[in-house]
Amino acid sequence: MISIKKTASSETPSKANILPCRIKYTGPASSSRQLWNPTTQPATTASTAAAGVTANPGDNAEVETHTSYFRGRKLVGTKLAVPDGYQGFVLDAGSASNPPLTGNQKREILYQGDDDGEEDEEDGDIQGKVEWTTKASFEEIMVWGHEVLVDGTQDGVVKGVEEWMVMAKILNGY
C-alpha cells in the first residue's frame, strides 16, 4: 500500500515543467533569468487548433504559448491545468528511513506466497507499506516541445495525464 504524507513544504507552490529531454540529475538547480526566462505569447484558437493543442486537451479555448531556450535549443510550451477538485504534488518516493523498493524487491514481495498452500484473495498484492512525502504543490504543468507546440493528441505525457484524470474520477466515484 502506498500512503502519501503531506509535509509543510508541500504548501510551497512550485512550477512543474516537462522538458523534451532526459536529465539525469534529481537535485536542486539554481537557475537565473539569464539561463531560464520563458516569455508568453497569446495565441489564436485557429493557430492552436491547427497545431492540435489546447490549454486542457479536449477544450477549444484560446491558448497562450510560452517560449524559452535550454542549452541553445528553442522550446515552445503550453500549460496543462490541474482540473478543479484535484491537487498536483511533487512527491519523494524514498528516504533513509523509507528507501524505495528495487525491482527485485517488488517482485519478491509480489510473489511471496504463504506456506499453507491455499490461495488467498490477496495473493499477488504487495504486502509492504510505502510512504511517499510531498515536497511541493503545483496547479499547472508546463509541457514543452522542441521548437513547436506539443501535439496533445499524440504526446504520451498529455495523453497519460488525461487518462489518469479519467481513472481518478472513476476510482473516486466508488
Q: Please state, for a pLDDT cut of 90, what percent of the chain lies above it.
A: 9
Which residue from 56, 128, 141, 130 is spatially nearest to 90, judged by alpha carbons? 141
**Chain segment 63-78, per-residue pLDDT in tens:** 788 999 988 889 999 8
**Chain segment 147-157, per-residue pLDDT in tens:** 998 888 888 88
Q: What is the pTM of this model?
A: 0.63
pLDDT at 29 over 80: no
Q: For residue 160, report the phi and psi dihedrals to the nearest 5 degrees.
A: -65, -40
**Proportion of the chain in helix, strand, coil states, percent, rounded to 5:** 20, 30, 50
**Chain segment 2-20, per-residue pLDDT in tens:** 788 888 877 778 888 888 8
Fold for the domain defined by 2-26+34-172: Lipocalin (2.40.128)
What mean pLDDT is reported for the chain? 74
Looking only at the bridges linking them, the beta strands covering 130-138 and 2-5 are parallel
Least confident segment among 71-80, 118-127, 162-171 = 118-127
